Structure 1
Amino acid sequence: MTHDFLLEMGLEELPANVVTASVDQLAQKVTNYLKAERLTFTGLKKFSTPRRLALQISGLADRQPDSDTEVKGPSEKIARTDNGWSKAALGFAHSQGIQPDDLVIKEVKGVAYVFANKHVTGQPAVTILSQLPNVIASLNFPTMMRWGTHQFQFVRPIKWLVALLDTEIVPMQLVDIQAGRTTQGHRFLGHPVELKQAQDYQAALEEVFVLADAQQRKQRIKDQIMAIAREQGWQVNLDAQLLEEVNNLVEWPTSFYGQFDRHFLTIPREVLITSMRNHQRFFYVEDEKNQLLPYFISVRNGNRDHLENVIQGNEKVLAARLYDAAFFYEEDQKHSIADFVTKLKEVSFHDQISTMYEKMERVQVITALIGKQVGLSQPELAELQRAASIYKFDLVTEMVGEFSELQGIMGEKYALLQGESPAVATAIREHYLPNVAGGALPATKIGAVLAVADKLDSILTFFAAKMVPSGSNDPYALRRQAAGIVSIVYQQQWQLPLDVLLNEVVQTEARKQFSPKVEQAPVIPQVISFIKERIKRFLKDTEVRYDLVNAATASTSTDICFMISSANELQKQQNKADFKANIEALSRVTRIASKQAGSFATIDPLLFENEAEVALHGAVDQLQNDFSQKSAASDYQQLANLRPVINDYFEKTMIMAENQNLKANRLAEMNRLAKIINEFASVDHIMTK
């Protein structure tokens, strides 16, 4: 016999961004709990609105299956005494809930042990389900709150609880709320509803103006919006993120359209779209040529009664925001870029580090160094320096002060209006990219250099100020910025050794007196390690084995592109017949070198005692000349080609010779070769078994 079970939590309105994640988490944890309790079911359906999280489970077993288990206890030697069972055996029997006389002896690999055979009768489903409040209490949310005098924490206060197994209420209590069969309809259009059975849930709520199925509700919103668009001859961008947010703000969606004054179309479209989408949760509309039209589509949480009042209210709110935007746009154009840049002298980047103006001075140093390193032309370098000298100016404009989402975007617009070159204007916008994980990267080289320089300065200075990310705490998004550096550099395929670059940055800033208040040089190794961790994350979703990733990032190289290419090359080589032998030969060298502390004297060829030493010395000389770190494939092949020379050397040469001069000479050779190997990868990390 199987059953249907309904669990619903009624809540004060949830933030739209946590609704879907919360019901998904609830479903996963309940599923895991039922599986752990061996209570089977055939189906689970999720329901969510701003005011409720619910699960409907079908095909639920009547009870747990009975189980027979055999538990191993102490050895017979410990369990028995001359007088019978020992204290250890009695304690074991008690812990298993059986009588000592029920213990049995069995041999395991020739040793006798005490065993307890237990028959456990399965508990009824209602008993298992009544413990679900413990599962609910284990849910995690970005922010938690308490209410009343309770110590219980949850995302929002719980207002009601429904728990029905077919027609019967499952006894349970959450905080001070007893489970029942009464749910609530739409806050304004509905009323309380008493459910007769679990299966009635969805249909009963629909009668009181609640579409509890989030996917059904989302589809209705999409259908309503597209119907309006077809009727009006509009094109609508159904932005997936906005659609998800709107869907989680309503229980009974009714879509409608409104309009705004056409003269607002003289404002940049990004401003209009931001005002509608980000601030009002409106969908913008376009004509067949993708030109913005003075209309919007929105979704009401209710029916069509008095809809004209809702439309007018939304139009007034949007008009007020657009009047502000038009005023800001006009006011900003009364000032030059130089005026805004001067204002940045009074804007703090961080009170322990510098002003925003001083940050731009530092970034000019970094962009000049990177630009030359990656081979920009003189005209490109000139445009790069111009962009770096003004790129934060829009932060003090009225428009960005009101619409912070438009930083960079308005910088590009205003730069073009004031006669800056398209390359400079584009770089101002692109320096923020990527602004989300996996987001778009700068499309221009100038924008890419500026983006890397800006992010590198932020990481370096915040580390120097001892504001290093820890755990989930990363208030300045330094991990995202480091990941952005990795993505951009790899996309551009730049050779950019971080140790050389960062040391040059610090030295040049000191010469130009652009240094921040904090000391940067001591944290350079820490910054490099931090970026190497982002390289590991970059490679995590690829098919590269974790040990190969560790080998590449633990190398002495600090070149982002080369480390990624090295990991990819090792992955490419791993299944070849000679890979294991190559790595073992190279690892033998690095292991010997790593165990010998201290520096080594210059190698003296006059101390060589056999041809194998001469051959290896010559091969390493050649390797030092040819090893470039420009091509991971070439470098690997050169190292692989050394395998027979290395093996011959070890076969004919005793490194730990009794003669200390010979020993030191041979260790110096090992150390010299190990340094080259470790520039490619720390091969000791590679698993070859």
Structure 2
Amino acid sequence: SDRLEKLKALTFQRELGSYHDKTGRVVALTKALATKLSTDDEHIDRALEAARMAKCDLRTLMVGEFPELQGIMGGEYLKREGAHDEVWQAVKEHYRPVGADDAIPSTPMGCLLSLCDKLDTVAGCFAVGLIPSGSKDPLALRRAGQGIVRILWEQGWAFTPMDLAAAALRAVGAKATKPEAETTGALLAFFKDRVAYQLELAGYAGSVRRSALATGWEDLADLKARCEALSAFAEDARFASLAQSAKRIGNILKDETACGDFDSALLVQGEEKVLAEQLAKVEAAADQQALLAALADLAGPLEAFFNAVMVKCDDPALRAARLSLLHRLRQAFLRVA
């Protein structure tokens, strides 16, 4: 359309091209993600229409006079032209969230459009070396990155920030001026910081945030479930004892090569046999709440085990079995924190 053509004369960023170029990248991203979220072709087509029209209001007199209305006016114009409700609402809200106190878009399509627009901005700028440092962030990339994380966090979509960033970098393609490995490394650190800040915004205690982040941060749905479970578990009196035991297991295994396979028949003391039985219950836990409940029940048996059992004994087979038992326990701990 004429409105899309007019975007060719409006520069987004020198290396990354015009807003017409940006629109093309956002449409490509939207198509890649929409097809993973929906099998409804009409729904996908509407998402692509919203992506194509999202920036067209930038060339209108109204937005020229009142820049703060960008997106809002685009949605209003489309509404008056008879666009589908999903399309004009998505365009109207695609700049959201504009800050920590602002809500994400109210519709899934609006969230998708906002996500793709922000992804293109962040990945594109990183690809040409425009990376925030210290207090300097003239392009508000941290705010855009936080918006990406919040949308993923609140929608519960099964996308990782780095998978999304990789898709956005593919869309940037030859316009990138920095090596891909360098850009990917910078984006990894950037999104890890944004995820850590999201946990802080969500109100989790520092100990919960540190424990949960230490075992992985990219799967936000899993991270959220672990934080919720840990927050509930932190009130349990057995938590401190279990944390000490986990640390002790880590120290014992630090210089050892242990495998997860062991023959429980080799175990001889009552305390280690009880611990092996409890381990089976832990490994059978289906979700984070069940896992933490099973781990909490380990506090007593673990304390009894360490009080009674010499892990690094002289018998090679028994020593290997005990080390493998602790290795399996450590793997269970790492499912949570």
TM range, normalised to the smaller chain?
0.7 to 0.9
State yes or no: 1:636 paired with 2:299. Answer: no
Give the letter for the 1:457 counterpart: D
TM-score by length of 2: 0.78
Q: Aligned residue for 2:336?
A: 680
Q: 2:224 matched to 1:567? A: no
CA contact (8 A) 1:655 1:663 kept: yes
Q: Which has the higher contact order (CA 8 A, sep 6+)?
A: 2
SS in 1 for 2:266: coil
What SS is found at the alignment partner of 1:484? helix
Q: Which ranges in structure 2 are unaligned for 5 or more consecutive residues?
A: none
**Structure 2 vs 1, CA of residues 560 and 520 (structure 1 numbering), >3 Å: closer, same or farther?**
farther
Are 1:363 and 2:26 counterparts?
A: yes
Partner of residue 115, structure 1: none
**Alpha-carbon distance in structure 2 between the residues aligned to 1:350 and 1:566:** 40
Equivalenced residue count is: 333
User: In the superposition, relative to structure 1, how do residues 614 and 562 fare at CA in structure 2: closer, same or farther (>3 Å)?
Assistant: same
The structure-2 alpha-carbon separation of the partners of 1:354 and 1:577, relative to structure 1 and needing over 3 Å to count, comes to same
1:470 aligns with 2:127: no
Secondary structure in 2 matching 1:416: helix
| 1:570-581 equivalence runs, <5 A | 570-581=230-241
Change (3 A) 1:547 1:607: closer
Residues of 1 paired with 2:329 and 2:126: CA distance? 34
Change (3 A) 1:489 1:513: closer
Deviations 1:588-642 (A, max 9, x none): 334545x349xx675443597316479649946973x755xxx643443343344
Task: Give the whole-Å Cα distance in 2 for the aligned partners of 1:679 and 1:379.
Answer: 40
Q: Displacement, 1:426?
A: 1.1
The whole-number CA distance in structure 1 between the counterparts of 2:298 and 2:33 is: 35
Matched letter for residue 336 of structure 2: F
Q: Is this contact kept in 2: 1:605–1:614, CA < 8 A?
A: no
What CA distance in whole angstroms lies between the structure 2 residues aligned with 1:602 and 1:382? 51
CA 1:572/1:420 → structure 2, altered by over 3 Å: closer, same or farther?
same
Compared with structure 1, are the counterparts of its residues 674 and 558 closer, same or farther at alpha carbon in structure 2 (3 Å cutoff)?
farther
What TM-score do the two structures reach when normalised by structure 1? Answer: 0.42
Which position in structure 2 is the counterpart of 1:479? 142
- Secondary structure (helix, strand or coil) at the match of 1:605 reads coil
Higher helix share: 2
C-alpha spacing 1:398/1:436, structure 2 compared with 1 (3 Å): same
The superposition leaves residues 30-64 of structure 1 with CA deviations (integer Å, 9 ceiling, x where unpaired) of xxxxxxxxxxxxxxxxxxxxxxxxxxxxxxxxxxx
Cα 1:674–1:528 change in 2 (3 A) is farther
Gaps of 5+ in 1: 1-337, 682-689
- 2: CA distance, partners of 1:392 / 1:412: 10
Partner of residue 605 from structure 1, selected from 262, 278, 287: 262
Corresponding position of 2:206: 546
- Read off the aligned partner of 2:191 and give its amino acid letter: I
| Secondary structure of 1:550's aligned partner | helix
Of residues 62, 79, 84 in structure 2, which corresponds to 1:416?
79
The alignment yields a C-alpha RMSD, in angstroms, of: 3.9
> How far is 1:421 from its partner?
1.4
**One-letter identity of the residue aligned with 1:530:** F
Identity between Structure 1 and Structure 2 (%): 28
Residue 245 (structure 2) pairs with residue 585 (structure 1): yes
CA-to-partner distance for each residue in 1:72-131, whole Å, 9 max, x for gaps? xxxxxxxxxxxxxxxxxxxxxxxxxxxxxxxxxxxxxxxxxxxxxxxxxxxxxxxxxxxx
**Can you list the C-alpha shifts for 1:291-313, whole angstroms capped at 9, x where unaligned?**
xxxxxxxxxxxxxxxxxxxxxxx
- Encode CA deviations 1:163-204: one digit per residue, 9 max, x unaligned: xxxxxxxxxxxxxxxxxxxxxxxxxxxxxxxxxxxxxxxxxx
Q: Deviations over 1:462-500 (max 9, x none)?
A: 233332222221111122122223333333344443344
Structure 2 residue 114 is matched with structure 1 residue 458: no
Deviation at 1:449, TM superposition (A): 1.7
For 2:101, the equivalent position in structure 1 comes to 438
| Partner residue in 2 for 1:396 | 59
